[in-house]
Amino acid sequence: MLNETKELLKDYYGIDDDTFKLSQEIMEEIKDKFEEIKEIREYNQYKVLKAMQESKLSDMHFNWTTGYGYNDIGREKNRGNLF
């Protein structure tokens, strides 16, 4: 944690040094779990990108619409192919 952030948290919220030390120890203990979650997130992100590519979803499918849903190319594309 940046020293400036630590000082800000001390000043604004009255967090003491013992609490910061404890939080650092706990973060170190669970670091591997966070790394595992990060890897799962990355893997799932690539799966979503692949599905979007296979359905030929592009930026035009995210354009503004009237809100009525009639002839909404993005809604039709997503409903039919992606999910």
What's the pLDDT score for residue 81?
A: 60
Torsion sign across C-alpha atoms 65, 69, 71, 75: positive
- Binning the chain into helix, strand and coil, the percentages to the nearest 5 are 75, 0, 25
Stretches where the chain sits below pLDDT 50 are none
3-state SS, residue 46: helix
Q: What is the predicted pLDDT for the residue at 55?
A: 83
Give the model's pLDDT for residue 40: 98
Q: Per-domain residue ranges for the chain?
A: 3-82
pTM: 0.58
pLDDT for residue 58: 77
End-to-end CA distance of the chain: 40
pLDDT digits (tens, 9 = 90+) for 47-60: 999 988 888 887 77
Reduced to 3 states (helix: H, G, I; strand: E, B; else coil), residue 3 is helix
